[in-house]
Amino acid sequence: MDIEIEALRAGREAIGEAFVLAVDLIREIVGQGGRAIVMGMGKSGHVGHKIAATFASTGTPSFFVHPAEAGHGDLGMITSADIVIAISQSGKSDELLRLIPYFKRNGIKIIAMTGDSLSPLAEHSDVTIDTAVPKEACPHGLAPTASTTLTLALGDALAICLLQAAHFSATDFAQTHPHGALGRRLLVGVQDVMVPKGAAPTTKADLIIKDALLVMSRGGMGFLIVTDRDGAPIGVFTDGDLRRCLDRDVDIKRTSIAEVMNADFVTIRVDELAVAAVDVMEKSKVSALPVIHNDGSLAGAINMRQLLQAGVV
């Protein structure tokens, strides 16, 4: 691990103008509708698969093409609008070098990631990113170890620089991860989870507590929204408020809900993300919220149980 850490440090110090040129070139090609095609043999190919996947998930259209398969028809996947990122530590991978004439004939730009800046691959590339390392972790200096770690880190660095340059947001990221936890947090809205106004537990302010409890019980959300004559929320009454009423010996058969409701309450807008409702509940130490429109009128209700069922929490 120390050897690989040293390789990363050396690689960081070696980053220079070529890296910037590579970022600019990829941005230019992708901006014109092209894709970043990653290629590599052996361990370089495994690293290339991961780099392509990271590019694709962070806003840079990309996929991996196996160099050997490319020579048997998969070159058809690569168009003159694309750019190739060719990975070879030695820069002498025969499978990659055989493809260079095709790239040149079709005007396809090449970014080499190699540990030998004088290699044939570097010589025929438009930009070369240096992946040279002081030594491999393998005691024989044969198995790619430190060099593949550095190449992977440089690939990640390219992807994140491209992400930042494109102002690719967390919401954009969620669009390509709809089945994951992040996608649920960033794509599910309050309106997707909430109970609509017609089904929300609401009552007028003059209703006595005993009758209001029947409405709250039927609602099954652990709270009651008290509204004015126009239907706008003016307070809430929770299970906890009921316990406090009983502790104070409040006459629930004579006292109106307006006398015991909490007029200092929090809400969530209907157009907010569901995860925002979770944050409001946690900060306010409540388990349910009235949902309102931008004009303050009632849109519905939402509670923590619904958010848990939606996978947002």
Whether residue 175 lies inside any domain: the answer is: no
Q: How many domains does the chain have?
A: 2
Cα distance between residue 168 and residue 158, in whole Å: 14
Q: What is the pLDDT of residue 181?
A: 57
Q: For residue 292, what pLDDT is reported?
A: 95
In a shared domain, residues 150 and 197? no
What is the identity of the amino acid at 56? A
Same-domain status, 138 and 81: yes
- The answer to whether residues 202 and 125 belong to one domain is no
CATH of the domain at 153: 3.40.50.10490
Residue 227 forms beta bridges with which residues? 204, 233
Domain boundary among 168, 198, 225: 168
Q: Is 179 a residue whose pLDDT tops 60?
A: no
pLDDT for the residue 275:
87
158 and 217 fall within a common domain: no
160 shares a domain with 27: yes
Structural domain for 303, as ranges: 187-309
User: Is residue 233 within 8 Å of 289, Cβ to Cβ?
Assistant: no
State the average pLDDT for the chain: 92
Does 178 fall in a domain? no
- Residue 116, domain member (yes or no): yes
Q: Tell me if 97 is assigned to some domain.
A: yes
Specify the 3-state DSSP secondary structure of 38.
strand
**Three-class SS state of 236:** strand
Q: Residue 180 domain-assigned?
A: no
Among 141, 168, 195, residue at a domain's last position: 168
pLDDT in tens, 46-104: 999 999 999 998 999 999 999 999 989 999 999 999 999 999 999 999 999 999 999 99
Q: Which residues of 182-213 are buried (b: 16+ CB within 10 A; e: fewer)?
A: ebbbbbbbbbebbbebeebbbbbbebbbeebb
Q: Say yes or no: 161 and 30 in one domain.
A: yes
Looking at the domain assignment, is residue 173 inside a domain? no
**CATH, residue 225:** 3.10.580.10
225-272 confidence digits (pLDDT tens): 999 988 899 999 998 999 999 999 999 999 999 999 999 999 999 999
Measured in whole angstroms, how far is the alpha carbon of residue 305 from the centre of its chain? 24
123 shares a domain with 158: yes
The reply to whether 201 and 302 lie within a common domain is: yes
- Give the span between the Cα atoms of 59 and 176, in whole angstroms: 9
Residue 162 sits in the same domain as residue 234: no
Measured between alpha carbons, how far is 67 from 74 in angstroms, rounded to an integer? Answer: 8
d(CA 33, CA 83): 11
- pTM for this entry: 0.66
Q: Is 181 inside any structural domain?
A: no
Q: Fill in the amino acid letter for 21.
A: L
pLDDT digits (tens, 9 = 90+) for 33-47: 999 999 999 999 999
Regarding whether 148 and 63 lie in a shared domain, the answer is yes
Structural domain ending residue among the three candidates 168, 200, 222: 168
pLDDT of residue 61: 95
Report the b/e string of 49-61 with b at 16+ CB within 10 A.
eebbbbbbebbbe
Mean per-residue pLDDT, 147-174: 89
Name the percent of the chain lying above pLDDT 70: 94
Residues 196, 262: one domain? yes
8: nearest Cα among 134, 189, 162: 134
Same domain (yes/no): 156, 260: no
Does residue 113 belong to any structural domain of this protein? Answer: yes
- Please classify residue 151 by burial: count the beta carbons closer than 10 Å to its beta carbon, then call 0-12 exposed, 13-18 middle and 19+ buried: buried
